[in-house]
Amino acid sequence: MESVNTPTGDDALKTAKRLIKETIPKRKKIITASIVCMVGVSVFTAALAYTTKLIVNDVFVAKDAGAAIEVAIIVIFVSFSKSLFHYGNAVLQTVLNRSISSFYQKEAFQKTLRREISFFNGKHASDHMAQIRLYGMAAGQAVTAICSRFLTEVLTLVALFVVMFLQDALMTLYSIVIIPIIFGLVSFLSRKIRKVAKEETDLSGHYFAAGSEALAGVRTVKSYNLERKSIEKFNSSVDALEDRIFGISKVTAATHPIMEFLGGLVLGVFVIYAAWQTITYGKTPGEFTAFITAFLLAYQPASKISKLWVELQKSLTQSFFMFRLIDTKPKSVSCGNKSLQSGNGSVNFSDVSFGYENDEVSIDKVSFNLEPGDKVAIVGKSGAGKSTLVDLILGFYSPTDGMIEIGSMDISSISPMYLKNHIAFISQDVFLFDDTIEENIKDGFASASHEEIIAAVKSAQVDGFAEDFPLGLQTRVGANGSNLSGGQKQRVAIARGLLKRASIYIFDEATSALDVENEREIMTALLETLKNETVIFVTHRPALFEYVDKVLMLEKGKVVGFDEPSKIDKTSTKFRELFGVLQ
Ligand SMILES: Nc1ncnc2c1ncn2[C@@H]1O[C@H](COP(=O)(O)OP(=O)(O)OP(=O)(O)O)[C@@H](O)[C@H]1O
Ligand SMILES: [Mg+2]
């Protein structure tokens, strides 16, 4: 899990550089159009300020009615052009923002999904989703702020300063004096923002997790009268998030009034100066009007820049953590590039030990050998390490000690793709996509022929219940198979596994939700189909022993029996304790 440290100003700069490098070169057209609009906005805003000089001097001071029409036409043209460019700029900003957000959301989702299994332990799926969404949005906002919103304001500010300078150089220099004050203030607020921005990401994750946890487990919540507890949990995460958002907006909102006050200060001094200049040196009122208008107009971009800068720190902080997620390489057991010879379903454990992140040992010096075509049952009390053993075979974790060989090759030298294709895993908690039964089965092997699908459907006895549905195999299973019963879901999962044409099949209590008769039929069909493949059943049911060649018994991570089913009750006392003497 990522540490919760706050990125420094240097990290923020690096993040900004990387964001630009990764996104801008691919979006040259949008950027070019944006620049045209930005220049348009700034030039016409400055021109608008300049027109006030014409209004005052040419129309009012000169009392010239003819010039009034001319000036009016200029004013209308300038403000229309300004609005037009403004509109174009706003649209392009949205386009840029959305395209970058979705790019990084896709990237972050892909990287998250490819992470190792242990990355997902103890964290809700919605927690990850909230992060991915927020990260992508932050990246979009950051790039838009830097490349468009910021630039628009800076260009406008520069153009207005040019107008001011042309009217009165001394006063312009005086107004520039406040810039360092603004700068100091903004950098102080930036540091504060970077600190709270990370917390906002975490808290919005908790918010989604608390809500979806209760909604996903709604049956349990209702049957145990846990509504109040779930509501309280959700409420407190909403409150915590609100608190953070409030903290952030307190900081960003402070920039505007402070800027306003500083502006007022300059304006006050200017009024006195202007009066003195007009009276003593006879400057025209038009020049001062143009100056004041430019100054007042410059105000908006200046205050926007400082607000944007503070907001940018938040987006950059979140983007910084997004890059950390994107850059972390998945820790995979098999990270070699060797292929596996299909059909070689041997599994060999030599002195394999493994513990999760806590110090307890879940697999303790386990050694056994399965030849291709072996059928084995793994038994043991709950928590003995059966599922952990299976996860090791699947390459979800790497052993802390010892060596695992799959298909006579060291698991760490096998390419992950080959390893996953070599093994079919049918787990106890079946997962189905919200699609038709047939599509779910086809996930086992996308280019399977119709005949192959039907064969898998028959072996897994899916036809037994699918026939009763009006749409048959085209029936939608609902979100995670919620329209099917537990046993029906298991049968679809078995059919999906059978279609995979793997060399090793692992069933982790995959028939636990089936009735005895159904289980027997499926087991017979399964073993008929999987004659040459290695098959591992993790089970609590002695009824399955009649289908296997060997039984492997685990206790507290150790092998305490490994023999034929007819002998193991004699050779393993631990086995006898758990199952008694087999008939
Ligand atoms: N993600 C995890 N993090 C830490 N410890 C874990 C994790 N998963 C399992 N364990 C621990 O590892 C040990 C073995 O668990 P495992 O799930 O392999 O048992 P099991 O034999 O499959 O049990 P069951 O029959 O109940 O499915 C247990 O003590 C368990 O608490
Ligand atoms: Mg288990």
14-to-6, 10, 72, 400, 537 alpha-carbon distances in Å? 14, 6, 49, 37, 52
Position 332 scores a pLDDT of 65
Cβ 388 vs Cβ 354: under 8 Å: yes
Cβ 157 vs Cβ 301: under 8 Å: yes
Q: Predicted confidence band at 402 (pLDDT cuts at 50, 70, 90)?
A: very high
Q: Predicted confidence band at 102 (pLDDT cuts at 50, 70, 90)?
A: very high
Ligand nearest to the CA of 540: 1
Ligand 1, residue 358: give the atom nearest the CA: 4
Which residues line ion ligand 2, judged by CB < 5 Å? 387
Ligand 1, residue 540: give the atom nearest the CA: 25
The two tokens of residue 261 are 């006050």
Encode pLDDT of 433-478 as tens digits. Answer: 888 999 999 988 888 899 999 999 999 999 989 999 999 999 998 8
- The proportion of the chain whose per-residue pLDDT surpasses 70, expressed as a percent, equals 98
Centroid of ligand 1 to alpha carbon of 388 (angstroms): 6
Position 583 scores a pLDDT of 63
Q: Is the CB of 385 under 6 A from ligand 1?
A: yes
The two tokens of residue 453 are 């699908």
Q: Predicted confidence band at 537 (pLDDT cuts at 50, 70, 90)?
A: very high
Could you give the angle at which helices 150-167 and 28-53 cross, rounded to 10 degrees? 30
Centroid of ligand 2 to alpha carbon of 329 (angstroms): 28
Ligand 1 atom 5: residue of nearest CA? 356
Q: Is the CB of 428 under 6 A from ligand 1?
A: no
528: exposed, middle or buried (Cβ count in 10 Å: 0-12, 13-18, 19+): exposed
Q: Is the CB of 356 under 6 A from ligand 1?
A: yes
Is pTM, for the whole model, over 0.75?
A: yes
Q: Is the CB of 206 under 6 A from ligand 1?
A: no
Centroid of ligand 2 to alpha carbon of 538 (angstroms): 8
Mean pLDDT of the chain: 87
Encode pLDDT of 479-505 as tens digits. Answer: 888 889 888 999 999 999 999 889 999
Ligand 1, residue 380: give the atom nearest the CA: 21
Ligand 1 atom 30: residue of nearest CA? 383
The two tokens of residue 64 are 């010239």
Encode pLDDT of 49-58 as tens digits. Answer: 889 888 888 8
The two tokens of residue 282 are 């006879």
More confident residue, 303 or 354: 354
Cβ 185 vs Cβ 255: under 8 Å: yes
Q: Predicted confidence band at 26 (pLDDT cuts at 50, 70, 90)?
A: very high
Q: Is the pLDDT of residue 333 over 70?
A: no
Centroid of ligand 1 to alpha carbon of 557 (angstroms): 10
Q: Is the CB of 362 under 6 A from ligand 1?
A: yes
Choosing among 3.40.50.9100, 1.20.1560.10, 3.20.20.70, 3.40.50.261, the CATH entry for 9-327 is 1.20.1560.10
Selection from 92-96, 122-126, 179-183 with the highest mean pLDDT: 92-96
- Best residue among 388, 425, 427 to mutate for probing ligand 1's pocket (most ligand atoms within 8 Å of CB) is 388
Q: Is the CB of 383 under 6 A from ligand 1?
A: yes
Cβ 56 vs Cβ 285: under 8 Å: yes
Give the pLDDT mean for 386-395. 92
Centroid of ligand 1 to alpha carbon of 387 (angstroms): 7
More confident residue, 6 or 555: 555
Fold of 332-426+535-583: Rossmann fold (3.40.50)
CA–CA distance, 470 with 347 (Å, rounded to integer)? 43
Ligand 1 atom 31: residue of nearest CA? 383
Cβ 390 vs Cβ 425: under 8 Å: yes
Ligand 1 atom 17: residue of nearest CA? 387
CA–CA distance, 565 with 256 (Å, rounded to integer)? 79
Q: Is the CB of 3 under 6 A from ligand 1?
A: no
Encode pLDDT of 338-357 as tens digits. Answer: 888 777 899 999 999 999 87
Q: Is the CB of 386 under 6 A from ligand 1?
A: yes
The two tokens of residue 184 are 């100091």
Centroid of ligand 1 to alpha carbon of 11 (angstroms): 40
CA–CA distance, 298 with 304 (Å, rounded to integer)? 10
Q: Is the pLDDT of residue 41 over 90?
A: yes
Position 2 scores a pLDDT of 41
Give the pLDDT mean for 120-140. 89
- The proportion of the chain whose per-residue pLDDT surpasses 90, expressed as a percent, equals 41
Position 492 scores a pLDDT of 93
- Best residue among 120, 353, 358, 362 to mutate for probing ligand 1's pocket (most ligand atoms within 8 Å of CB) is 362
Centroid of ligand 2 to alpha carbon of 561 (angstroms): 18
Q: Is the CB of 359 under 6 A from ligand 1?
A: no
17-to-11, 320, 530 alpha-carbon distances in Å? 10, 11, 55
Give the pLDDT mean for 294-323. 86
- Best residue among 361, 378, 386, 559 to mutate for probing ligand 1's pocket (most ligand atoms within 8 Å of CB) is 386
- Best residue among 378, 381, 387 to mutate for probing ligand 1's pocket (most ligand atoms within 8 Å of CB) is 387
Ligand 1, residue 389: give the atom nearest the CA: 18
Ligand nearest to the CA of 385: 1
The secondary element (H helix, E strand) that includes residue 289 is helix 285-327
Closest C-alpha among 495, 505, 507 to residue 448: 495
482: exposed, middle or buried (Cβ count in 10 Å: 0-12, 13-18, 19+): exposed
Numbered ranges of CATH 3.40.50.300 in the chain: 332-426+535-583
Q: Is the CB of 382 under 6 A from ligand 1?
A: yes
Q: Which residues contact 469 (CB under 8 A, 6 or more apart)?
A: 475
Centroid of ligand 2 to alpha carbon of 573 (angstroms): 22
Q: Is the pLDDT of residue 1 over 50?
A: no
Ligand 1 atom 3: residue of nearest CA? 356
Q: Is the CB of 123 under 6 A from ligand 1?
A: no
Encode pLDDT of 63-90 as tens digits. Answer: 888 888 999 999 999 999 999 999 999 9
The secondary element (H helix, E strand) that includes residue 563 is strand 558-563
Numbered ranges of CATH 1.20.1560.10 in the chain: 9-327
Ligand 1 atom 4: residue of nearest CA? 356
Q: Is the CB of 367 under 6 A from ligand 1?
A: no
Centroid of ligand 2 to alpha carbon of 437 (angstroms): 26
Phi-psi region of 367 (alpha: psi -120 to 50; beta: other; left: phi over 0): beta
Q: What is the dihedral of CA 483, 488, 490, 496, to 10 degrees?
A: -90
Q: Is the CB of 539 under 6 A from ligand 1?
A: no
